[in-house]
Structure 1
């Protein structure tokens, strides 16, 4: 997977892709009602990214937390609860019947919750897991994850072959290059 961390490296790459989308949503959110179509498009893209990412964390990462980290069950349960809240907020923000003001408030709450969750995992939970879980186990879990995913289609950042192209993929996600049907990536 991505470096020696295996599963954690993969999750970090996914976190950076989510953060890049959150920055784009910030810009659209600041434009208000003038950017409704852009906001819906970005929310749909965020939904696609999060569907797989949250499932991966719940199936591959949190079982490690429960098994290896002191108070791991409580930490994992809290994170799964946060995931459920993220899914509800995202679904609500994408509701076509929602007024512009309600959509703005819901999207704002979603952005804050996601950033807090990602920061908590990056700065607190990942270091705990790195210290408690043998590196070989993290690599095995990362390999298991890679084997469970379909061959790289070029769409999601984490659909790349292990250890290759992650920087280019994140760059393309940030710059908008390499989208569907585009071969103009720098």
Structure 2
């Protein structure tokens, strides 16, 4: 998060973690009704990841979009509307009162919508923000996000395997991106 992008870098990491979980859901979804329990477990894991990510975007990212990007209010409103639809589809996909076939259909729609949303942010919205928002402000927002998140030891970060944080720490140390408050950190 201490790289040049700050907040955008963190959001990109979270998007990659979500895409990895979406690939796992694809495999389960392809097996259909035969993998209901595994699919439900993955959806619960995904729900936790998604809830935090959407809250981060809505609290830290979309205010930047509104303030700095032309037509930012419309873009942010559309994204928040998509978030609402994603939450609703996820809830339906996890609703055990629905038939397995209905949950499978909801999961399929969720996968398509999320991939489209993530790709739109990565390929269109992030570059607009990167061009419009001063790098110092993106770093500052990233630092505020890091300070707001609870720190725990040994817990996987964004569904990534254990040890990933250690790899990032070594990388940051070697590249001089050692953290907030350091003079050599970009």
Q: TM-score, normalised by structure 2?
A: 0.84
8 Å CA contact retained: 1:157, 1:166: no
Distance of 1:36 and 1:24 partners within structure 2: 13
Label 1:2 to 1:106 Cα distance change in 2 as closer, same or farther (>3 A). Answer: farther
In structure 1, C-alpha distance between the alignment counterparts of 2:84 and 2:157, rounded to whole Å: 22
Q: Distance in 1 between matches of 2:87 and 2:16?
A: 19
**Residues 25 and 42, structure 1, Cα contact 8 Å, conserved in 2:** yes
Greater radius of gyration (CA): 2
Partner residue, 2:167: 165
Alignment of 1:24-35 (within 5 A): 24-35=24-35
Matching residue of 1:8 = 8
Q: Structure 2: which 5+ runs fail to align? A: 171-186
1:23 alignment counterpart: 23
Check conservation: 2:17, 2:159, Cα contact below 8 A.
no
Is 1:155 aligned to residue 152 of structure 2? Answer: no
1:114 and 2:122 are equivalent in the alignment: no
1:15-94 superposed matches below 5 A: 15-94=15-94
Report how far residue 165 of structure 1 moved: 3.4
Q: Please give the per-residue CA displacement for 1:124-147, whole angstroms capped at 9, x wherever unaligned.
A: 000000000000000000000000
| Cα distance between partner residues in 2 of 1:120 and 1:33 | 31
Can you list the C-alpha shifts for 1:65-116, whole angstroms capped at 9, x where unaligned? Answer: 0000000000000000000000000001000111011011100000000000
Aligned to 1:140: 140
User: After superposition, what is the alpha-carbon deviation per residue over 1:137-172, rounded to whole angstroms, capped at 9, x for unaligned?
Assistant: 000000000000011342333899xx863599xxxx
Instruction: Give the corresponding residue for 2:184.
Output: none
Instruction: Determine the C-alpha separation between the residues in 1 that align with 2:70 and 2:79.
Output: 15
What CA RMSD, in Å, does the superposition of the two structures yield over aligned residues? Answer: 2.1
Counterparts of 1:77 and 1:19 in 2: how far apart (Å)?
23
What TM-score do you get using the length of structure 1 for normalisation? 0.84
In 1, distance between residues paired with 2:45 and 2:53?
12
Mapped contact 1:13–1:158 kept (Cα < 8 A): no
Query: Does structure 1 conserve the Cα–Cα contact (< 8 Å) formed by 2:2 and 2:139?
Result: no
In 2, the alpha carbon distance for the partners of 1:107 and 1:94 equals 9
Q: In structure 1, what is the Cα distance between the partners aligned to 2:168 and 2:18? A: 14
Conservation of the 8 A alpha-carbon contact between 1:64 and 1:133: yes
